[in-house]
Structure formats: structure tokens, C-alpha cells
Amino acid sequence: MTSSNREPLLTELKNYLIHLKDLGYTEVPCETKLNLQQEAVAPYSQTPLSVNKMAAKNSKALTAVQQELGDCTRCKLSNERKNIVFGSGNPHADLVFVGEGPGADEDEQGLPFIGRAGKKLTEIIEKGMGLNREKDTYICNIVKCRPPGNRDPEKEEIATCNPFLIQQLKAIKPKVIVALGKPASSTLLGRTVPIVKERGTWHEYEGIKLMLTLHPSYLIRFYTLENRKAVHDDMKKVLKELKK
Ligand code: SF4
């Protein structure tokens, strides 16, 4: 199988596994024995499938950031984390989503946005925007380790992790960044952002267009028509910008 026809299959498999997780499966339902001797597949963030030269360059830069981060213990969030959640998706994506920090599921698996909020984000990207999460976007957080009990990350923790976010975004060089919720918006803009008031507005981050929107977990908690429409409108603006 060539890498070009393996890519959509792997994307589909990934989405299927996310779907199973959201349905509550802890194992893959399977009636036949899996051949565990088959070639192992590394995580997306470490093994880009595109052979596009630019993507390879971005991917190399991103891998360098991940290597520099290493088994980071620069802040106290390292004390209780199981896995560092660096980010996942296409290193050459035009669109990057930046969230707040990993939750329990993400900490367990080392991948961003795979729990309930992740399912909602995938829905927004795939059903709402008509994009493919793994192929068309890259997703990461302002802190790479789970704050205990899902508390908000503290100022010092955000500041310590921020250089890696900056380098990540520089490596990817997307056309548009979407900040999900108040902590991500405030971190990227360097000021306290009243997100409900400022969502839907364009800003700039290091020369990249930055859209602020509601965090998917906020949307789940306050699942009103008004909030759904707000996120829908924000994503419409993002799509318009991506098409320019
Ligand atoms: S949150 Fe960031 S700075 Fe803190 S330990 Fe994790 S990776 Fe390091």
C-alpha cells in the first residue's frame, strides 16, 4: 500500500477509534484475532503522512520543538500528569485550534481533544465546517500537561509552557488560528479577554489571523441556540478567511 492511499484509511481509522472512545468502549470490538506482528503505526504528530516538501519541513520543525520539550518538568503540572499532550494533526495545516489544557482522557492517551469536548470540536470541524480534523487542522493547548482536577492552568504554568506553544505555531505557520475559550484567547493576546463579549472578532498573532470563539466544553455546558449559532458564525468567518 502506498503512503498516499494509506493516509485516508488511517484518518478514517483514527476517527473511528475516537468515535468508539466517545461511545464508552475501552477496547476495540473485534471478532477476529488481530495480527499484532503488523507494522506499528506511530502517532500522527510524530509521523506526518504527507510527502509534501513543505509539510516535511514543518513537521521537522515541529518534531524539533517536541524534542526540546522532552519529558518536561519545567512546571508543577508535570507532577501529576500521565502523558504530555503535545498536539496532533497536520503539521502543514492552514488552521490551528488552540485550547486550554488536557483533560483526563487526553492525559491518559497523550492526544488533545479526544473526550466529550473533543467530540464536539470534531463535530464542529467535520460536520459544521466540512473539513477533516486530521488532514485539515492541527490541535494543541496552551499547557501540555493536565491541571489536576481540570482546574484552570495558573499564570505561572501558562507562562512556562508558552514558549513551546509559540514555537509550535511558528513551525506550522497556519493561515488562521482559532483560540478556544478565555484562557487560550487571553494567552495568545497577552491580556484578559472577556470571551463571551469578544468571540467572533478577528485579531492578529505574530502576523497570523486569530479568531476567538467559545470553548467546546462551554458549548456543551450551555448548549443554547444562541451559543451554537455564535460558534457556527465564528467558524463561517474562519472558512471565508481560509478560502481567500
Ligand atoms: S505544562 Fe508545559 S511547562 Fe509545564 S511541565 Fe507540562 S510541558 Fe512542561
Of 30-39, 43-52, 95-104, 216-225, which range is least confident?
Answer: 30-39
Would you state the pLDDT for residue 15?
Answer: 52
pLDDT at 129 over 70: yes
User: How many CB atoms neighbour CB 110 within 10 A?
Assistant: 18
Domain 3-243 architecture = 3-Layer(aba) Sandwich (3.40)
Q: For residues 156 and 142, is the Cβ–Cβ distance under 8 A?
A: no
Residue type, 208: I
* Residue 19 confidence class, pLDDT cut points 50, 70, 90: very low
Range list of β-strands (E), the chain = 88-89, 95-99, 137-141, 176-180, 202-205, 208-213
Q: Which of the listed residues 72, 79, 98, 164 should we mutate to test ligand 1's pocket, taking the one with most ligand atoms within 8 A of CB?
A: 72
The finding on whether 84 has its CB within 6 A of some atom of ligand 1 is yes
Phi, psi of 228 (to 5 degrees): -65, -40
pLDDT at 31 over 80: no
Q: What is the mean pLDDT of residues 184-203?
A: 98
Would you state the pLDDT for residue 50?
Answer: 41
Q: What is the mean pLDDT of residues 138-156?
A: 97
Which residue carries 492511499 as its cell? 5
Q: Which of the listed residues 67, 98, 145 should we mutate to test ligand 1's pocket, taking the one with most ligand atoms within 8 A of CB?
A: 145
Q: For residues 75 and 69, is the Cβ–Cβ distance under 8 A?
A: no
Which residue, among 214, 23, 224, has the nearest Cα to 121 in the 3D structure? 214
Is pTM beyond 0.85? Reply is: no
Q: What is the mean pLDDT of residues 178-198?
A: 98
Q: What is the mean pLDDT of residues 227-241?
A: 98
**Mean pLDDT, rounded, of the chain:** 86
Would you state the pLDDT for residue 59?
Answer: 86
> What's the rounded Cα separation, in Å, for the pair 38 and 42?
13
Q: For residues 153 and 77, is the Cβ–Cβ distance under 8 A?
A: yes
- 163 CA to centre of own chain: 17
